[in-house]
Structure 1
């Protein structure tokens, strides 16, 4: 007998086939809020200035060790730098300034300056990547010829990967010229179009992975992947891509295709693909102990998940939503979960019906904490639900095999000594600022220098650091 679950919006894990109504939680148990609970001190590390009269919509944080600065971007276009002590916040560049010709499209909750990263050679004078950084941005220009098209949709806008080159890595403000376009996507719909950018921080000069840029490319938006792009290997949508930004053997000649990419040379397959079958690859990160690559992928209406991403791996979307067969928006089958041996199923999953998560959910992350100063956090994979602001974690050395039973919680203890969620801290800060309390957190979690963990949000301009 096949059971279909309808009308929910975010997770599941159920080993046995049971009848579940539209208003019931399909999980056999809720997240245990006390098991392996971590309560850590948190400080207000730095404040980013408002943009357009509203709090900075912070998306990513990147450490630059040579100049000892932390870079943080605002979805509307600005990048700021923060000193390691948090005392000095400096505008670095606004990529939406008219002089650069980028034209950031930041209307709505999901569009804008999605992510950025610094080349690992950014601070190494004389190295090929010196002064280079990369931005991944939704732009209003949808006329320029794109490199990747979705074969359908309404050409809502484009998403562009730019390379910027600073003359001096230590300049307090960007001192280079206009950016160079590496790749351009035509987006078929207006929502969840792009994801994360990162270089593997574990790779060293001379390694095959050194200087290779990983790119999260979502399935193009709408709902349910209506154009069937994520499993289409001739499409760059719904994939994790890997390129050499300093190379030139791509179809457009603006970047390189690494020879060790898993699908290089295969007919009718985009050679940039590193892994596939993703809906909205929100954030990813590496385990410094073993090189495991984890990704938080936002689900459709059922499953939020964090997964390992092996080279060449198929993460299943849109044939699978998490551990379950996808049958349409708001519909999954609980028959034969995790039954395709060719699919990489989630390490952990969670549902909007869990009372901890307050009804609206979306997975974010991912930070793997090893050998850091906060003993309770060691050997754990940290991620979160960026809507509710719940920070969650699971074991890095005994990775779960799906469901929510391996998920534990982290709470933040402020100066009053009370343990709170990030959303509660944001709301408290909003009251001090004279703003209406935020209804959601829009959280991001990032690793900074020396295993320091920072928490970002879009509603009070505050960068927080976990410090216990």
Structure 2
């Protein structure tokens, strides 16, 4: 049996990311067999980066029928780029909505409209529905043959029999078609077609994602001219053992001979070298089993020409597998190397000894993600692996690295192919690459596409150039170089372990970009109330920052709603994700602020900036807050805090006029610190302490040397009160950038160092 075990990770960042997830709560070191617990770490940041140059933007297209799922409402749905194997240099790009494009030097020609050829064509539901993939026969230049897969709707199911009949309650059918071009060199298709394979799926998800030939196979090789089909489980794996059932194609990789005739319908052949060919009760097309959503596969042009598969997980593990003849990846019995049970899918347990003894094939690389603390574990988590390819071209530092990514949030990763072997004792380390434009600016994919959901894919050409694609704006980028640069470290080292929540507004939550991802330990989404993604604006408080958050008051004349942000937990026990503020000895609230309008709004006598709510808060009461409020009849910048939930607050007010501290149109860094054990509070502006005074001369906090109430805060508020949007009392017409909430009182030296660190960031 293959040896598969986990390993200790030295990176503090990676370990922190792994240990924060509740998935590890029930994991023990021995329950899954040899080695440490099988929860992989988050990808480790790398100094290596890709330099991207826009290569093409393809035309807008729409699904059929019109979708109701916003995730399908993209500029188009391009999902691969490859090169026609005829020496012409033409690149091909399929669009799930129907078109097949050929590209020369970034200029497209519509070669074929697959949608127009099939009256029952369906692409209006399901992330992979429509014209899923195209691949060209290795002898296309001579025989003109290429192959597509697309989905058809219920009308087709009622009238067109599947290749295999065991497709109960099918919702869509995947159809593999062979096309023969009259003139293979033509820029538009003319010729004939025939159907090879048809199979139905209970849901509109996890159908046939990719079909492809092994480009490393040569004439005379057993694999030459054989077509691989990555067939998903149709969503059935969570309720049945279909991916383990050898009598059905679902949840498998198939291998067929498209020019053969011994298949069940006579339209293709079954290679005799397939692992289950001729076995009673098994369909001979099967090459490997036990898959949920085998999304993308490729062969290494170097090495031993290994086949690698990017497999989208159900719960929290995105994995890369080396695919060999007869492999079983264990789904739905296990997910990656964890026990999967549908009734408890919001957690994953270690494999049982019985599962560990079954000899499943485990990933050669994987990374963990978990749903945010305030997001349903059964909802789209904003993560899914996009399988890539091993680079064997001439990009410096990238040779021999398997490049892949997270298709939803658009992060790009790599592993070393030499480490991606299923006979090793450890998986390959996954590293996240940086991205740069040709003018040297560091960017993220959301910066390039203007959307939090990227829908990232990868491709290559005959010269082994690397390409990235995004459905969000229908754009293709060519990787024109690599660059090594220090990994940005935005937080001062002495403070990194104390950041409970951090929001820089560069990280929209891919599953719903009206939320901002937390870069701190709490994994708490910040809701952008009323304005959603429109509240992210093209502005930055310091070098390297590209986005800021726009806040505003309501406008009765236009009916505009107030824009604010925050998180509210209606549970009387407060937000568990913010439990590090429970009984804390101190808190620090800091961030960048820029006034962008009239403050305070007429009719209000305060301007809310940012704060941590108390444990019994109605959405207004706070534990620690930066704000502008009336002090002795004059608006002042203040730090306002409360030690005991039911007790009184204390206020430390800056002596200078607030207009001098926060001039309109100018970015300013502010910090407020609270020491609940001594009652000391402080305010800072641009790294320097501000003179100020306490508004209460007595002891409203009832200082006794201990911290705050032993309760979890009810949430966070930004730009105004009541993050649950119940009311409004102190709107801020302003912008904010990189808000940080720490569970201790930082020192004056640390505030100064943090401010200086922001200014040293590279653009």
Normalising TM by the smaller chain, what interval?
0.7 to 0.9
Question: Counterparts of 1:249 and 1:104 in 2: how far apart (Å)?
Answer: 28
> Aligned-pair distance for 1:352?
2.2
Question: Are 2:108 and 1:89 equivalent residues in the alignment?
Answer: yes
Question: Are 2:422 and 1:422 equivalent residues in the alignment?
Answer: no
Question: Counterparts of 1:183 and 1:403 in 2: how far apart (Å)?
Answer: 38
Question: Are 2:239 and 1:221 equivalent residues in the alignment?
Answer: no
Question: Counterparts of 1:420 and 1:158 in 2: how far apart (Å)?
Answer: 40
Q: Decide which of 43, 57, 81 is 1:47's aligned counterpart.
A: 57
The DSSP-based 3-state class of the residue aligned with 2:397 is helix
Question: Counterparts of 1:362 and 1:163 in 2: how far apart (Å)?
Answer: 30
Question: Are 2:315 and 1:301 equivalent residues in the alignment?
Answer: yes
Question: Are 2:283 and 1:263 equivalent residues in the alignment?
Answer: no
Q: Decide which of 111, 114, 120 is 1:103's aligned counterpart.
A: 120
Q: Which residue of 1 aligns with 2:419?
A: 398
> Aligned-pair distance for 1:9?
11
Q: Which residue of 2 aligns with 1:166?
A: 181
Question: Are 2:79 and 1:59 equivalent residues in the alignment?
Answer: yes
**1:281-304 Cα distance to aligned partner (Å, 9 max, x none):** 000011122111110111111221
Q: How does 1:154-233 map to 2 (within 5 A)?
A: 154-177=169-192, 179-221=193-235, 224-233=237-246
The DSSP-based 3-state class of the residue aligned with 1:230 is helix
> Aligned-pair distance for 1:205?
1.3
Question: Are 2:133 and 1:119 equivalent residues in the alignment?
Answer: no
> Aligned-pair distance for 1:340?
3.3
User: Do the aligned partners of 2:45 and 2:433 also contact (CA within 8 Å) in 1?
Assistant: no
The DSSP-based 3-state class of the residue aligned with 2:340 is strand
Q: Which residue of 2 aligns with 1:71?
A: 92
Question: Counterparts of 1:402 and 1:134 in 2: how far apart (Å)?
Answer: 39
> Aligned-pair distance for 1:452?
0.5
Say which structure, 1 or 2, has more relative contact order (CA 8 Å, 6+ apart). 1
Gaps of 5+ in 1: 1-7, 19-24, 428-437
Question: Counterparts of 2:320 and 2:436 in 1: how far apart (Å)?
Answer: 26
**1:31-66 Cα distance to aligned partner (Å, 9 max, x none):** 2213xx321211101121111396220112221142
Q: Which residue of 1 aligns with 2:360?
A: 343
Change (3 A) 1:201 1:14: farther
Question: Counterparts of 2:415 and 2:26 in 1: how far apart (Å)?
Answer: 16
Q: Which residue of 1 aligns with 2:389?
A: 367
**1:82-108 Cα distance to aligned partner (Å, 9 max, x none):** 01x32x2111010111xx235321012
TM-score, normalised with respect to structure 2: 0.53
**1:136-162 Cα distance to aligned partner (Å, 9 max, x none):** 11112212111124453x321211111
Change (3 A) 1:9 1:105: farther
> Aligned-pair distance for 1:132?
0.8
- Please say which structure displays the higher CA radius of gyration: 2
- Matched positions, count: 428
**1:372-431 Cα distance to aligned partner (Å, 9 max, x none):** 11021111111111001011111111226698870011222113412223232111xxxx
Q: Decide which of 421, 432, 455 is 1:409's aligned counterpart.
A: 432
The DSSP-based 3-state class of the residue aligned with 1:142 is helix
Change (3 A) 1:49 1:320: same
Question: Counterparts of 2:235 and 2:394 in 1: how far apart (Å)?
Answer: 40
Q: Which residue of 2 aligns with 1:22?
A: none
The DSSP-based 3-state class of the residue aligned with 2:140 is coil
Q: Which residue of 2 aligns with 1:313?
A: 327
Change (3 A) 1:28 1:374: closer
> Aligned-pair distance for 1:459?
1.3
Question: Counterparts of 2:441 and 2:350 in 1: how far apart (Å)?
Answer: 41
Question: Are 2:400 and 1:379 equivalent residues in the alignment?
Answer: yes
> Aligned-pair distance for 1:163?
0.7
Change (3 A) 1:463 1:268: same
Q: Which residue of 2 aligns with 1:326?
A: 340
Gaps of 5+ in 2: 1-20, 32-36, 63-72, 373-379, 482-763
> Aligned-pair distance for 1:115?
1.1
Q: Which residue of 1 aligns with 2:162?
A: 146
* Structure (1/2) with the larger helix percentage: 2
TM-score, normalised with respect to structure 1: 0.85
> Aligned-pair distance for 1:27?
4.3
Q: CA RMSD in A?
A: 2.6
